[in-house]
Structure formats: C-alpha cells, structure tokens
Amino acid sequence: MLCLPEMKKLDSRQWLVVLAFALVVSFTAFFAVRTVRRAIYWHYHQDEPIRPWMNLGYIAHSYSVPPWVLHQALGLPLQPDRRPIREIARAQNRSVDEVIDKLQDAIVHSRPPYPPPGPPPPFDRGPNLGRSP
C-alpha cells in the first residue's frame, strides 16, 4: 500500500504567495487574450474606406503606403500627426470629402501600376542645425 505523507497546512505567508501567483496568472491571461484579439482585429482592416475619424497613421497602415505620402498629399509637415481627418480638414478650411479625395488619389498613385513613390523628401532642420561649422 502506498503511504502518502500528511499534507501540512499553509500559513498566512504561504497563502499570500499563492494569492499573488493567482493574480499574476490572471493578469497574464487577461493581457494575452487582449493582445491576440487586437492582433486579429487589426488584420481584418486592410483597405478600409476612409472615414473622418481616422488619422493619417491608421490610413497609411490600412492601405500599406508610407505615411509621408499622405502627409505630402495634404501639404502637411513630415512629423507624425494624430489628428483625425475632420480636424485636418477644418484646419485647412477644406471639406472632409475633399481631403478624403486627395488621400485616395495619393494612395492610388503610390501603388502599382504607377511607379513607386521614391524616398521621402529630406527633413528641413532649419539653418545649420545639427551640422558642424
């Protein structure tokens, strides 16, 4: 017959370790599920119709074009711009539809059968910034 040793009871410090471990496993599972769901959701948004709430980074990712192509089409500086299309249109005194049309035209012309857009224009750092005399 198999003789099993008697299990000892856990004291308060050991219960605290068990509770901490359970919390860590719960948080890990929560964030793992959240990450997988977001990755699956993001995969399905290719060539999504441009809407006024979208920003240029989202559109560039959805249409697989470099962000600078969209910035250049709207005459914006090459710095990241997180504003939605409706705010960019308002700042440029244009209609949202006009801005969307310009973006769609830039996207069409940056994809085949048109020649690739080439490298981005150099970033202007102002007079003699970053250069030695």
Q: Where along the chain do its domains lie?
A: 17-46, 56-109
Q: Note the helical H segments in 44-84.
A: 56-63, 67-74
* Residue where the block lists tokens 């017959």: 1
Structure-token pair, residue 71:
């910035």
The model carries a pTM of 0.56
Across 74-113, b (16+ Cβ under 10 Å) vs e yields bebeeeebeebbbebbeeeeeebeebbebbeebbeebeee
pLDDT tops 60 at residue 129: no
Check residue 70 and give its pLDDT. 94
Check residue 124 and give its pLDDT. 63
